[in-house]
């Protein structure tokens, strides 16, 4: 018997290669910036000069320099330090005129500065004051970098002049923005050569400079050397071969390496890295396949350090109990009981849904298991007197509770419209009576019911059919085959969408699932299908999807789609 995992394996050899998402430092663009200012605080001081040097691969590819009119006198000690006088700034532009040009020069490069918080603090303040959005570029502080790249003996302090002497820069810093930026740029590239030995070789590794990992963990970075720079799933293994942690990434090598170089602060992850002795990877054709693989691996192995492994049976559903006079209850299971509402987003939502359905339909709230024939001394609760319960506890079958239970089952299984309509009336009444708190509670209950019903309908729709869908991703197409809500296969292609769809359809036509499909997998698939831009190419079976109506009401639209009608993607647009 074949499962969806084995079919995915058959398709892996068909996938195309992906470019390395990680960016080596020799391809990274750096913009080294230096500012001269009238003081030390952006709250009271202003920028008087900006100098910046743009480099890539150690080569200078651009420079930016301008004086800036600060709109205030320059203190004498600043004049003595920088040589910039008030007279020099008479014809200089104001900072609001300079910022657009500087931000364009910066682009998406890594921003570098010596004592970066000083320079970025002034630039952020200027952007904020004049209505420019700070771009949020990655920042490298050469002071922090120097603490990793130099010893106390060779550089007792990390001042720019000291580092220029240590590395023998061609340009000597002189407290003028462009010259200091040039010197800082030289120092930067000399230090990057040194820290390569610590695993700082890609742009993604630069964050490790702020918070380095312990040596015993950093030494394990070699685990990433054999990992492919492709999308997929990674699994850290412990000393006994046990799975410690499962995750996904668009670039496996970069992500695995980042664990050992980016200064991970979560204690649990550091504990996991200390135990890890190896990493397994599985390259996946599409992002959806990677996410599904992750879910399946976590469910199968329950890795110790994956948070959702602790309670895999955490999914909440709302169901009717199996008894003569049933009531509503929360059920927790990987897959819900037949005819249940859900999966609910949380146990709180499940309880809210139960409360409002009880109030709308008169489902009994007591938890006692009632006999078919009421006991002679049975007594009803206050709800009977209020007309909120048919009281089968004292009236038995004569109470007509069977109709109430039937209406509740129908609301859970098929259509919650009667519940929603009744609650809409109650919400309006509560609001008119200025009881807004209760109105809000009822509103939240309606939301829980409608959301649970729509999710149940989606999963039920997926379980009834097989389909092939496609979505544009970058310069290619993700083509996926779904069977009974499970991912049966996927491919990424740059052209030949229809050929890939036919191939996947043929491979999965006779697929028999040998295990229950996880709810989490079905929800991943459902979200992928419903993402704007996804097109259905083939649908075999009955396809029906719920559609939310105005307000909090819901109407249910069913459409039987023949294969010939499920082709909104034309052959002229493929590839």
Q: Which DSSP state fits 142? A: H
Q: Which two tokens stand for residue 160?
A: 């720019």
Backbone angles phi, psi at 43, to 5 degrees: -75, -30
* Segments in 37-106 forming alpha helices (H): 76-82, 95-106
Structural contact between residues 515 and 421, judged by C-beta atoms closer than 8 angstroms = no
CA–CA separation, 508 vs 489, rounded Å? Answer: 7
Bin 400: left if φ > 0, else alpha if -120 < ψ < 50, else beta.
left
Q: What are the C-alpha distances in Å from 345 to residues 312, 415, 544?
A: 14, 19, 22
User: Which residue shows structure tokens 């779904």?
Assistant: 482
Structural contact between residues 53 and 182, judged by C-beta atoms closer than 8 angstroms = yes
Structural contact between residues 32 and 169, judged by C-beta atoms closer than 8 angstroms = no
Structural contact between residues 348 and 330, judged by C-beta atoms closer than 8 angstroms = no
Structural contact between residues 543 and 504, judged by C-beta atoms closer than 8 angstroms = no
Q: Which DSSP state fits 200? A: -
Pairing of strands 486-493, 535-541: unpaired
Structural contact between residues 43 and 24, judged by C-beta atoms closer than 8 angstroms = no
Geometric angle at alpha carbon 91, from 89 and 97, rounded to 5°: 95
Burial of 359 (0-12, 13-18, 19+ CB in 10 A): middle
Pairing of strands 465-473, 59-67: unpaired
Q: Which helix (H) or strand (E) holds 323?
A: none
Q: Which residues are catalytic?
A: 175
């Amino acid at each position: 018997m074949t499962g969806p995992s084995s079919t995915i394996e058959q398709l892996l050899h068909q996938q195309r290669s992906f470019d390395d998402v990680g960016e080596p430092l020799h391809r990274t663009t750096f913009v080294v910036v230096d500012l001269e200012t009238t003081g030390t605080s952006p709250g009271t001081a202003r920028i008087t000069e900006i100098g910046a040097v743009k480099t890539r691969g150690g080569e200078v590819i651009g420079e930016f320099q301008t004086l800036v009119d600060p709109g205030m006198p320059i203190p004498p000690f600043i004049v003595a330090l920088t040589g910039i006088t008030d007279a020099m700034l008479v014809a200089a532009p104001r900072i609001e005129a300079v910022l657009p040009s500087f931000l364009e020069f910066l682009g998406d490069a890594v921003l570098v500065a010596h004592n970066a918080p000083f320079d970025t603090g002034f630039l952020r303040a200027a952007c904020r004051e004049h209505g420019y959005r700070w771009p949020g570029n990655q920042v490298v502080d050469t002071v922090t970098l120097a603490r990793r790249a130099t010893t106390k003996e060779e550089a007792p302090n990390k001042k720019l002049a000291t580092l220029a002497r240590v590395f023998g820069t061609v340009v000597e810093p002189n407290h003028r923005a462009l010259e200091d930026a040039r010197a800082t740029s030289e120092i930067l590239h000399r230090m990057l050569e040194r820290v390569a030995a610590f695993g700082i070789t890609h742009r993604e590794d630069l964050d490790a400079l702020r918070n380095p990992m312990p040596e015993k963990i950093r030494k394990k970075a070699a685990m990433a050397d054999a990992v492919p720079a492709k999308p997929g799933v990674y699994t850290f293994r412990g000393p006994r071969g046990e799975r410690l942690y499962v995750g996904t990434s668009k670039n496996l090598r970069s992500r695995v390496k980042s664990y050992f170089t980016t200064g991970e602060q979560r204690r649990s992850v550091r504990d996991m890295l200390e135990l890890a002795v190896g990493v397994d990877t599985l390259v996946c054709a599409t992002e959806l396949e990677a996410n599904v693989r992750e879910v399946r691996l976590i469910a199968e192995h329950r890795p110790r350090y994956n948070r959702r492994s602790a309670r895999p049976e955490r999914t909440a559903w709302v169901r009717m109990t199996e008894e003569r006079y049933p009531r509503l209850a929360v059920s927790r299971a990987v897959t819900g009981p037949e005819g249940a509402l859900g999966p609910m987003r949380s146990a709180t939502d499940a309880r809210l849904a139960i409360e409002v359905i009880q109030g709308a339909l008169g489902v009994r709230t007591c938890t006692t298991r009632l006999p078919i024939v009421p006991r002679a001394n049975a007594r009803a609760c206050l709800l009977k007197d209020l007309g909120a319960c048919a009281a089968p506890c004292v009236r038995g079958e004569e109470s007509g509770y069977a109709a109430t239970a039937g209406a509740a089952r129908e609301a859970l299984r098929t259509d919650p419209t009667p519940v929603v309509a009744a609650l809409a009336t109650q919400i309006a009444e509560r609001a008119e009576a200025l009881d807004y708190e209760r109105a809000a509670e009822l509103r939240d209950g309606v939301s829980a019911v409608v959301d649970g019903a729509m999710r149940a309908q989606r999963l039920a729709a997926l379980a009834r059919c097989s389909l092939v869908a496609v979505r544009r991703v970058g310069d290619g197409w993700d083509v996926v085959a779904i069977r009974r809500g499970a991912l049966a296969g996927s491919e990424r292609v740059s052209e030949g969408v229809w050929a890939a769809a036919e191939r996947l359809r043929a491979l999965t036509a006779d697929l028999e699932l040998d295990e229950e499909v996880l709810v989490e997998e079905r929800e991943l698939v459902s979200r992928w299908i419903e993402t704007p831009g996804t097109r259905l190419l083939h649908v075999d079976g009955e396809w029906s999807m719920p559609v939310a109506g105005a307000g909090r009401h819901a109407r249910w639209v069913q459409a039987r789609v023949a294969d010939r009608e499920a082709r909104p993607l034309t052959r002229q647009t493929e590839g």
